[in-house]
Amino acid sequence: MISELFSGLSQDFGRLLDNADDYNVIIEIGDGPNVKKFQAHSVVLRARSSYFHTALSSDWSRRENGYIVFKQLGVSPAIFSAIINGTMSLDDNDTDIFELLAAADQFSLHELLSWRKEDFSALQKTINRLIPLIRLFQMTPADYCHKVRPYKRLLSKNLQEDLLHYYLANDTPKSTTVLPPRVAPIQIDSVLIGPQHTALIARWIDNESVIKQGSKYNFLLLFRASRDGYSINALKQKCADKGPVMLVLKIHDSGRLIGGYNSIGWKTEKIGPGQGASDSFVFTLGDGRSPDGAKIARMISTAASDKDIDDLAWNGPRFGKGPDLWVCMNNDQSGEARKVTYESSITETEGRFRWIDCEIFSVVKK
């Protein structure tokens, strides 16, 4: 289909190519080997576009052999040709229309901008069912800024707000259903969590805002209380001196999943003050069924006295001075969580609790 983009611009600019005997402007479009030269008339360019009225001034352009020479980067020759001819084929490449709209905005081409205001809602309705299939929350902030935000008028107001809060403040989307990532799942031997949880925890470990394709980590089961016994000796035997570890447990009454990541691992003997790791963190996965309930709490104090965060000398793993998370390995399966060292609480109410099962994994880089 050949689409007539704007009739007035087509008539005026089309003549610039067909009847260029008395042209006085040479416009170089593109970069490197893809540069193409267009011949035009400064009077028509200035009349049709406030951008060219400024660009063709002595400050922006140069003169060579009596011609005004203007170089324009950031626009492909094909798109610029469509602008000055007024027609382009939209059959083969749907992305051309978006590049054309961006270029028209840059050149202040009023007829095409007017088309945007009148017909954008129709375009939005056309692609509305496809937008939820795009993993908008699983791209880099740079990709969002350069590839999505320029076309925000195609998105609903709620989706725009969710995206803005997600990429600026890493907030969980409030009104948008987030599809799972198109990534190979991180397989894990667990009765408490699944691949979607390990992908999220891997993102937290790397302090990244999006889940990337693939993962740099394997999560290897070291200890499961229901399998290996509810004793500190069993835990020490299987988990001490294993490097970075991740702990997760299920609280008895609420069914809430909570845990912590220790980037240096546990030692057989007590880790003294100042020997903990400031990049360790605690977390909650909510009920484990929805990503909306997941939350990480990083360390808020870097004082040496507050880094006594993880050891096995307390009859079980401990995070923080509160303790922010303590899992007591005894037959009553108790624990405690009180916010002190980390930025937020990971339980609904602070204090003692009982847990159903506990698992500890070695976090190994691939």
Q: Does 334 lie in the same domain as 238? A: yes
Q: Does 106 lie in the same domain as 67? A: yes
Measured in whole angstroms, how far is the alpha carbon of residue 242 from the centre of its chain?
A: 32
State residue 361's pLDDT score.
96
Of residues 103 and 261, more confidence is placed in 261
State residue 213's pLDDT score.
56
Which one, of 317, 263, 259, 261, lies nearest residue 288 by Cα? Answer: 259
Whether residue 298 lies inside any domain: the answer is: yes
Q: Does 239 lie in the same domain as 148? A: no
- Integer Cα distance of 256 and 253 in angstroms: 8
Q: Does 208 lie in the same domain as 164? A: no
Boundary of a domain, candidates 105, 127, 149: 127
Whether residue 212 lies inside any domain: the answer is: yes
Whether residue 123 lies inside any domain: the answer is: yes
Whether residue 217 lies inside any domain: the answer is: yes
Helical pair 110-127 and 7-18, crossing angle rounded to 10 deg? 120
Boundary of a domain, candidates 127, 153, 185: 127
Whether residue 225 lies inside any domain: the answer is: yes
pLDDT tens by residue, 32-58: 777 888 887 787 777 767 777 777 765
Structure tokens at 63: 């003169």
Q: Does 62 lie in the same domain as 16? A: yes
Q: Does 159 lie in the same domain as 202? A: no
Using the predicted structure, report yes or no on whether residue 317 has a pLDDT greater than 50. Answer: yes
Q: Does 153 lie in the same domain as 15? A: no
State residue 256's pLDDT score.
92
Give Cβ neighbours of residue 328 (< 8 Å, ≥ 6 apart).
314, 315, 316, 334, 335, 336
Whether residue 7 lies inside any domain: the answer is: yes
Q: Does 208 lie in the same domain as 97? A: no
Average pLDDT, integer, range 69-73? 75
How many distinct structural domains can be found in the chain?
3
Using the predicted structure, report yes or no on whether residue 268 has a pLDDT greater than 70. Answer: no
Q: Does 120 lie in the same domain as 14? A: yes
With bands split at pLDDT 50, 70 and 90, how would you rate the model's confidence at 123?
A: confident
Using the predicted structure, report yes or no on whether residue 2 has a pLDDT greater than 60. Answer: no
* Domain enclosing residue 51, as ranges: 2-127
Helical pair 95-107 and 110-127, crossing angle rounded to 10 deg? 150
State residue 273's pLDDT score.
47
Whether residue 345 lies inside any domain: the answer is: yes
Q: Does 73 lie in the same domain as 19? A: yes
Boundary of a domain, candidates 152, 169, 186: 169
pLDDT tens by residue, 271-287: 444 455 778 899 999 88
CATH number at residue 13: 3.30.710.10
Which one, of 86, 77, 79, lies nearest residue 16 by Cα? Answer: 86
Q: Does 327 lie in the same domain as 279? A: yes
* Stretch (H or E) spanning 49: none
Q: Does 321 lie in the same domain as 203? A: yes
pTM value is 0.54
Whether residue 187 lies inside any domain: the answer is: no
